[in-house]
């Protein structure tokens, strides 16, 4: 039935008790579940029951200071995903980690460890952390410039790839009789000297089952898109319209090609917030209930910060001010701001309405409807050059995830667009990507097979 070959890819973006900022106020919610490993283990089992490709955790090394608004604090993702690895077998485990506030040796090692522990299911969502408060937790007084963060990120990934490749796959011998455990000649110390990093020695973890973890990126600035085109195996992105998603999709695939990569090896997954009901009315009622539970006195200052205006300039029952600061003056979160402003202008939303629309997905595409309506939207984007799959952002957890798994996934399976069983062992297998050869021993890659093969 599909015009496309293969399966679409579905990632479960887990966030506390749901992506909607007011989800914790629902009668069903445990307001402390966001730091409860049992909650996440329950979610992981639901997602694996639905044959989803992967789980994903966002992250930043900073406490947001609006403690009243919603559950605050997040368990560190590489650690939390290790606890989820212990109760699952197939689903991929994607952790966000910052290149600005980590060291390559430590982080590459932690991802290699997670990949070993999970049997090849680790993924890294590479972020540069555009947040002044985070900078102030790491000896800095100001946020490093956007360009500088991306420059460091590129070096960070280059070094990490060298570290993951620093063991030959057959460096370990285990020859008991000869008393020779491994072959030092098959170790390739990076001896890396760059602008941001010097890393001399080999990693102290053997080459990971996947060669290296799946690399994920979500930047949408020019630097971000170029970085994704160069390094990413998968790209998370946010769009409000099919047309915008198509433009982004075509642009990123073109950029990947210009880096000598096969565009099919860069999987693009827009975010979608599915507000599900057995009927459309039921879905709309849930959406409305969540909207009522938002407290605008918390949400308005954050919107003002995103727009770089004073909170006084925003009036709840009016549209956004006609004049807003220039995009170019802003470091970080560039495209999210454009997306939010465009949404408000296009639909002529009041500030209150805009806050309601952002409450569920912070700018991601929100659809309230029946399982068939959600599935139709997914298929429409997938079949029309806008997506290789979706980043599923349930507004309420666990109920929104189990609703998606139990009611939307079967429709996609019936239409022949989604797997009915896991057919591989690793996260790369789930995404249909080959295990990268070790660059220290591989023959030079021919054009088009691209980065990391």
Site for a second copy in 65-124 (CB under 8 A): 65-76, 78-80, 82-83, 85-87, 101-103, 105-106, 109-110, 113-114, 116-117
Q: Is 432 left (phi over 0), alpha (psi -120 to 50) or beta?
A: left
Closer of 256 and 303 to a second copy (Cβ): 303
Q: Which of 4, 6, 181, 278 binds a second copy (CB under 8 A)?
A: 181
| Binding map of a second copy across residues 136-165, x = CB under 8 A, - = no contact | xxxxxx------------------------
**How many C-beta atoms lie closer than 10 Å to residue 27's C-beta?**
4
Closer of 88 and 240 to a second copy (Cβ): 88
Closer of 72 and 445 to a second copy (Cβ): 72
Q: Is 43 left (phi over 0), alpha (psi -120 to 50) or beta?
A: alpha
- Residue 387 sits in the site that holds a second copy (CB under 8 A): no
Closer of 70 and 428 to a second copy (Cβ): 70
**Gap between the Cα atoms of 168 and 186, Å rounded:** 5
Closer of 134 and 379 to a second copy (Cβ): 134
Distances (CA, A) of 29 to 25, 48, 272: 7, 22, 21
Q: Which of residues 201-240 bind a second copy (CB under 8 A)?
A: 201-206
**How many C-beta atoms lie closer than 10 Å to residue 80's C-beta?**
22
Q: Which of residues 255-294 bind a second copy (CB under 8 A)?
A: 293
Q: Which residues pair with 125 in a beta bridge?
A: 96, 216
CB 428 within 8 A of CB 233: yes
Closer of 44 and 232 to a second copy (Cβ): 44
Min separation Cβ 99 and a second copy, Å: 13
Structure tokens at 231: 């390094």
Q: Which of residues 13-42 bind a second copy (CB under 8 A)?
A: 22, 24-27, 29, 31-32, 35-37
The alpha-helical segments, DSSP class H, found in 317-443 are 334-346, 351-361, 371-383, 399-403, 409-414, 427-430
- Residue 133 sits in the site that holds a second copy (CB under 8 A): yes
- Residue 167 sits in the site that holds a second copy (CB under 8 A): yes
């Amino acid at each position: 039935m599909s015009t496309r070959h293969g399966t679409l890819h579905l990632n479960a973006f887990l966030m506390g008790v749901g992506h909607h900022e007011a989800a914790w106020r629902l009668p069903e919610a445990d307001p402390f579940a966001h730091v409860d490993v049992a909650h996440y283990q329950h979610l992981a089992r639901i997602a694996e029951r639905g044959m989803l490709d992967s789980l994903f955790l966002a992250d930043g090394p900073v406490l947001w200071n609006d403690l009243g608004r919603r559950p605050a604090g997040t368990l560190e993702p590489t650690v939390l995903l290790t606890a989820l690895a212990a109760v699952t077998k197939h689903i991929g485990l994607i952790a966000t980690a910052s290149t600005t506030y980590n060291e390559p040796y430590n982080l590459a090692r932690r991802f290699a460890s997670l990949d070993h522990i999970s049997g090849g299911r680790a993924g890294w969502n590479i972020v540069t952390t555009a947040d002044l408060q985070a900078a102030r937790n790491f000896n800095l007084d100001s946020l490093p410039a956007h360009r500088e963060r991306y420059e460091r990120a590129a070096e960070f990934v280059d070094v990490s790839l060298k570290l993951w490749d620093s063991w030959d796959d057959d460096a370990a011998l285990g020859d008991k009789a000869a008393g020779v455990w491994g072959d030092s000649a098959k170790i390739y110390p990076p001896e890396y000297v760059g602008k941001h990093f010097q890393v001399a020695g080999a990693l102290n973890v053997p080459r990971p089952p996947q060669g290296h973890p799946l690399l994920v990126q979500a930047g949408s600035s020019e630097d971000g898109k170029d970085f994704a085109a160069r390094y990413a195996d998968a790209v998370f992105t946010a769009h409000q319209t099919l047309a915008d998603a198509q433009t982004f999709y075509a642009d990123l695939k073109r950029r990947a090609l210009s880096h000598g990569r096969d565009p099919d090896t860069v999987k693009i997954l827009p975010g979608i917030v599915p507000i599900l009901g057995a009927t459309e009315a039921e879905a709309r009622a849930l959406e409305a209930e969540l909207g009522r539970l938002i407290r605008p006195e918390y949400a308005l200052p954050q919107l003002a910060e995103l727009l770089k205006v004073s909170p006084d300039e925003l009036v709840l029952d009016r549209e956004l001010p006609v004049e807003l600061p220039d995009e170019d003056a802003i470091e970080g979160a560039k495209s999210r701001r454009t997306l939010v402003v465009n949404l408000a202008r296009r639909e002529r939303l009041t500030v209150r309405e805009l806050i309601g629309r952002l409450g569920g997905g912070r700018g991601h595409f929100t659809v309230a409807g029946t399982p068939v309506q959600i599935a139709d939207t997914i298929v429409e984007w997938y079949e029309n050059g806008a997506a290789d799959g979706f980043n599923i952002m349930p507004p309420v957890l666990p109920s929104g995830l189990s609703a998606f798994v139990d009611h939307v996934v079967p429709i996609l399976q019936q239409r022949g667009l989604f797997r009915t069983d896991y057919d591989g062992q690793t996260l790369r297998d789930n995404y249909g990507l080959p295990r990268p050869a070790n660059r220290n021993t591989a023959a030079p890659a021919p054009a088009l097979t691209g980065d990391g093969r």
